[in-house]
Amino acid sequence: MTQLANSERKALLESAGKIYAYKIMQVKGYERLINKAKGERIRQLLTQIGANELKDTEYWSQRITELTGRDEKPVGVSFLNQRVGMMMGILGTRGFFEWAIIAEDESVENLAIQSGNIGDQATSETWVRIASDERLHIEQVKKEVLGMEGWEMGGGGGVRDVIFGANDGLVSILALVAGVYGAITESHPILIAGVAGAVAGAISMGAGAYLSSKSEKEVTEKEKERKGIRKGGTGAEEREELAKFYQKRGFKRQEAEAIADRVASGMESGAEYTLGEEIGLMSEESWPPAKAATFTGLSFAIVSLVPILPFAFMMVTSAVITAVVASVACLFAVGASKAIFTRKSWARSGLEMMAIGILASLATYAIGLAIPV
């Protein structure tokens, strides 16, 4: 694998480095789950899965060494490792692994494309085979561990709540401050209006997120009940629930028990079911309403301080300039941080959110000028 142009080597190294990094993150994720595992069997399953991923990281480390000609870890991996705890807290356990595996999958797709473009045929075939083998491994993990199709991506409720709360807190309070400043050029009234808006907004956002998440959870549970999808429990409890379900559908008790036994046995015999269910990655509870409310309300309240605080310490003109500059910078930062989870362009995400905040502020400022006190 030495017949590579510099541009080809650089492209392969970039994709291989990303694959390695996402695998390291998964290994760290499994280590966290192992520390939290309650049963010995679950701990053993997680240990085995984590060991397999660790073995893969060693394989990709060797591939990177071959490309660079020196034994070193890809730049930025230590930083990626530090993100695992934060992302598992925000995305949830299943959401984190979906994010990491799909990100790895995208990197493998890029590797396959780059491999096909290599000029040397033998080297191209070698890297195409490496990409193909890795793709098969990822599909197996998706199916057996997460029980997901290649296009699925669940989880992410925390990202939505944090981004939504932070964005709304910055945009709405900055727009409120701009509107009041258009009508009243005094710091004290602007400060009062901003604080009142921040408190009311945080409560409203938190309550809205709670009710929305709760309603979604209730609808999901109702749909599961309608379809007869079982909840977690012991084997005997699950068979009993299935038997009751079929009794409600008109079967006699003996017939319902026989059907329940066959259905439960079929579920238990499927590796893709038992593995994912047993380690807790296929049956993870949806985003808790209280957690959604807390994340949304707190993110709103914290970022809303940015356009408010300058009016508590500065004269009105200086306060306005400071508030606008700081808020616009924070809007860009919040938008750019979204790219950590979406893997899209951080610059585009930041500019998009920044533009929304500026347009909203200009609109309310114009209203304030048009309707002075």
What's the CATH code of the domain at 24? 1.20.1260
pLDDT tens digit sequence for 45-96: 778 888 888 888 889 988 898 888 776 655 455 566 667 777 777 667 777 7
pLDDT in the model for residue 144: 67
The first and second tokens of residue 336, run together, are 């750019």
pLDDT digits (tens, 9 = 90+) for 185-206: 888 999 999 999 999 999 988 8
Most confident of 31-40, 223-232, 260-269: 31-40
Arithmetic mean of pLDDT, 105-113: 86
Position 101, amino acid: I
Q: Using CA atoms, how far apart are residues 316 and 311, in angstroms rounded to an integer?
A: 6
Q: Tokens 């979604």 sit at which residue? A: 216
Residue 351 tokens, joined:
């500019």
Residues 344-363, mean pLDDT to the nearest whole number: 86
Residue ending a domain, among 266, 282, 298, is 282
Q: Are residues 95 and 23 in the same domain?
A: yes
Residue 1 resides in a domain: no
* pLDDT score recorded for residue 322: 93
- Residue 307 contacts residue 323 (beta carbons within 8 Å): yes
pLDDT at residue number 278? 54
Q: Considering the chain, what is the average pLDDT of its residues?
A: 77
- Own/partner pairs, 124-127, CB within 8 angstroms, 24+ separation: 126/1, 127/1, 127/12
Task: Check whether residue 249 and residue 302 sit in a common domain.
Answer: no
Q: Are 198 and 304 in contact (CB under 8 A)?
A: yes
pLDDT digits (tens, 9 = 90+) for 268-313: 444 444 455 555 555 444 567 887 788 888 989 999 999 999 999 9
Residues 203 and 350 in one domain: yes
151 assigned to some structural domain = no
Q: Do both 113 and 221 map to the same domain?
A: no
| pLDDT at position 150 over 50 | no
What's the structural domain count of the chain? 3
**Which residue's structure tokens are 């899965």?**
49
33 and 138 inside one domain: yes
* 125 and 85 together in one domain: yes
The residue among 145, 175, 196 that closes a domain is 145
Residue 152 forms part of a structural domain:
no
Local structure of 253: helix, strand or coil: helix
186 and 41 within one domain: no
* pLDDT value, residue 85: 75
100/211 same-domain check: no
Choose from 257-271, 326-340, 351-365 the range with maximum mean pLDDT. 351-365
- Provide the domain limits for residue 350: 157-227+287-370
- Confidence band for 230, pLDDT divided at 50, 70 and 90: very low
Confidence of residue 226 (pLDDT cuts 50, 70, 90): low
Answer yes or no: is 55 within a domain.
yes
Q: Work out the percent of the chain whose per-residue pLDDT is above 90.
A: 15
Shared domain for 254 and 134, answered yes or no, is no
